[in-house]
Chains A and B, each alone.
Chain A
Amino acid sequence: DGGITQSPKYLFRKEGQNVTLSCEQNLNHDAMYWYRQDPGQGLRLIYYSQIVNDFQKGDIAEGYSVSREKKESFPLTVTSAQKNPTAFYLCASSPLDRGDEKLFFGSGTQLSVL
């Protein structure tokens, strides 16, 4: 389904807990992205990665961490430093070729705080 798989679909975090959201793609895309979506708002960029073992902060990186050890995988960790983590998290990937910057999105993970 679009070649990008996010898991879990729903996730609950306790106070002081770190949680990790999974994102896997089989599209052979070089670039991967994490966006956060709050109700009634647009998508805000958390982190992005253009190649393996390299990533850059987006507009709202504080309280989050990522890794890119494999081309196919770009997990996002929501740390205890993120005080307002409740949101819908979307992972995306792109071939990042000149003339083809289309983003393909996963189905999202809804994170809530217990």
Chain B
Amino acid sequence: GENVEQHPSTLSVQEGDSAVIKCTYSDSASNYFPWYKQELGKRPQLIIDIRSNVGEKKDQRIAVTLNKTAKHFSLHITETQPEDSAVYFCAASHYNQGGKLIFGQGTELSVKP
């Protein structure tokens, strides 16, 4: 089955710097790659997603890149702010597998003012 590895497990940046989180997946059939943000004690919230027919997607300060050949995808946050501090999860799925998402282990991002 699918396996998703996420790095780093913790990341600390200064406010205004950029943050990058990387994930690799094992199943070449996976075609949907979302990123979730989870604040302490809260539910995960979708922040951006990408499909396998697209190499990059941006939404204001957030961008995701996908390299299908290497089977890895990354989350880029620019001009970080203290409210970006949270745990971020990457995930992968394939429609023909019931849409079930397989998650990475999570990255705890801390943005210091």
Indicate if the CB atoms of A50 and B46 lie closer than 8 Å: no
Q: Does A41 contact B (CB under 8 A)?
A: yes
Select which of B44, B93, B95, B98 is within 8 A of A105 by beta carbon: B44
- Closest-CB distance, A28 to chain B (whole angstroms): 15
- Interface residue count on the B side (C-beta < 8 Å): 24
Q: Does B61 contact A (CB under 8 A)?
A: no
Indicate if the CB atoms of B100 and A58 lie closer than 8 Å: yes
Q: Kindly supply a per-residue 1/0 record for chain B positions 45-75, scoring 1 wherever the CB is within 8 Å of any chain A CB and 0 otherwise.
A: 1100100000000000000000000000000
Given contacts A42-B89, A42-B106, A101-B93, contact A2 B43 (CB under 8 A): yes
- Point out the residues of chain A lying under 8 angstroms from B9, CB to CB: 40
Indicate if the CB atoms of B89 and A43 lie closer than 8 Å: yes
Complex Cα gap A103–B91 (Å):
11
- Point out the residues of chain B lying under 8 angstroms from A96, CB to CB: 95, 98-99
Given contacts A101-B32, A106-B43, contact A42 B100 (CB under 8 A): no
Q: Kindly supply a per-residue 1/0 record for chain A positions 74-114, scoring 1 wherever the CB is within 8 Å of any chain B CB and 0 otherwise.
A: 00000000000000001000101010011101111000000
Indicate if the CB atoms of B93 and A43 lie closer than 8 Å: no
Select which of B6, B42, B95, B100 is within 8 A of A107 by beta carbon: B42
- Closest-CB distance, A41 to chain B (whole angstroms): 6
Q: Chain B residue with minimal CB distance to A105?
A: B43
Complex Cα gap A90–B101 (Å):
13
Indicate if the CB atoms of A103 and B89 lie closer than 8 Å: no
Indicate if the CB atoms of A42 and B43 lie closer than 8 Å: no
Given contacts A42-B89, A101-B93, contact A31 B98 (CB under 8 A): yes
Complex Cα gap A105–B34 (Å):
13
Q: Does B86 contact A (CB under 8 A)?
A: no
Chain A, range 33-57, C-beta contacts under 8 Å to B: 33, 35, 40-45, 48, 50, 56
Complex Cα gap A102–B34 (Å):
8
